[in-house]
Amino acid sequence: MADTDTTSTALDNAFAGVVDALVELMRSGVRPDVLEAQRLLLQRLAQQGDVFPSRVPAPLNITEVGGYLNLLESAGQLDMRASAVASALGVAGPAPGSAALGGVVPVGFVEVANDRPAGAAQASIPPLLSVRADFHAPLQAALAILHASGCTLPLRAPRATLPASQPGATASSLDFELVLAALGRSLEVFPGTLLVDPSTDALAIARPETPATEPLRLVARELDGGTLVAEATWVAVRASATSVANDAPATARYLEVAPVLQAAGWPHPQPLVAPTALVSRGTLVRFVNITGLVAGETTLGNELALLYPPAAIARSAFSALTAWVWDGSSFAAPA
């Protein structure tokens, strides 16, 4: 008897461990199919099981069980009848309303917390940033490196939507930037957080004072008077609506952003272009992600199918371009 009790306890503990692991997976998952499964579980809790106690006595025998099933069938409640049978057998029945995981894309997009440093632009910076689920972890790791140095990186992502099909539109009229945005492969620094006043902006476009031939780079200022980033003399750029100018050399604690983002798969577009005005900010504030794109192999259709359901792709301006192949720098018609 003791052995039986011990075995039962071990099985209960093992089952509890499996349940805990599943709960943690469901709680921390970011993939669209996991998020959809979370939704279904909540729906089941709300509509099925013992969340709402039964108002009729439990059936005493198989005849009474058959009576309930016949009642549901005669009332046309076939989904509820199937759920009742599943409940009696102790298995998961069909989802209410025949809902399922159909239409869920393999990757999709998730929301991550955005940096919102103090300043005039803070009110405009969205608290959440939409990124591809497969780029989520590396981007979070890169941001953690910046945060550990007392720096921030407020970002915005071009809206990841499929452009609608337009009569008369041709493949050549599709902007490659539009393709990158639709594929969730483009990010940029939020406007108003640099080029305004380098002494207080969270970010700056600057170069070391010496030698004078040093190129400009995007840098993040260590905030709150910290000393985690080494102090150096920098020449920062500020801009107006029509022009840019260099500030006088000044000491600052600036951390270069490009190496951190590049290690996470987000390099600057090449060639680098310096800003010419407050609005024309150049490419130093932009990042692209082409990880996973294999030249001569990856098609635009492959990429779109990771993020959008087939019906949405078929209605978009990309519907006729799904066979286009990545050539190392863009998607092009197959040879």
Assess contact for 249 and 234: CB atoms under 8 A: yes
Assess contact for 128 and 114: CB atoms under 8 A: yes
Beta bridge partner(s), residue 164: 316
Q: Is the pLDDT assigned to residue 51 strictly greater than 60?
A: no
Q: What is the predicted pLDDT for the residue at 100? A: 46
Q: What is the predicted pLDDT for the residue at 26? A: 57
Q: What is the predicted pLDDT for the residue at 243? A: 95
pLDDT, average across residues 99-103: 50
Q: What is the predicted pLDDT for the residue at 33? A: 60
Q: Is the pLDDT assigned to residue 173 strictly greater than 70?
A: no
Count of alpha carbons within 13 Å of 210, Cβ hemisphere only?
Answer: 0
Give the model confidence (pLDDT) of 221-272 as tens digits. 999 888 999 999 999 999 999 999 999 999 999 999 999 999 999 999 999 9
Confidence band, pLDDT 50/70/90 cuts, at residue 164: confident
Q: What is the predicted pLDDT for the residue at 12? A: 65
Rounded distance between C-alpha atoms, residue 4 and residue 229, angstroms = 62
- Better-scored residue on pLDDT, 293 or 18: 293
- Better-scored residue on pLDDT, 168 or 282: 282
Maximum Cα–Cα distance for the chain, whole Å? 92
Q: Is the pLDDT assigned to residue 7 strictly greater than 70?
A: no
83-87's contacts with Cβ under 8 Å and 24+ in sequence apart are 83/48, 87/48, 87/49
Beta bridge partner(s), residue 250: 234
Rounded distance between C-alpha atoms, residue 124 and residue 117, angstroms = 11
Q: Please indicate, yes or no, whether the overall pTM of this predicted structure exceeds 0.75.
A: no
- For 184, residues 6+ apart whose C-beta sits below 8 A from its C-beta are 109, 130, 131, 132, 135, 157, 160, 307
Q: Is the pLDDT assigned to residue 64 strictly greater than 80?
A: no
Q: What is the predicted pLDDT for the residue at 99? A: 46
Confidence band, pLDDT 50/70/90 cuts, at residue 43: low
Q: What is the mean pLDDT of the chain?
A: 83
Rounded distance between C-alpha atoms, residue 276 and residue 283, angstroms = 11
Closest to 233 in 3D by CA, of 248, 217, 244 = 248
Confidence band, pLDDT 50/70/90 cuts, at residue 98: very low
Percent of the chain with pLDDT over 90: 54
> How many residues in total does the chain contain?
335
φ, ψ at 48 (rounded to 5°): -135, 175
Q: Token pair of 186, please?
A: 């483009």
Which amino acid is it at 273?
A: V
Q: How far is CA 173 from the centre of its chain?
A: 28
Rounded distance between C-alpha atoms, residue 225 and residue 246, angstroms = 23
Which secondary-structure segment (H or E) carries 203?
strand 203-208
Give the model confidence (pLDDT) of 184-211 as tens digits. 999 999 999 999 999 999 999 999 999 9
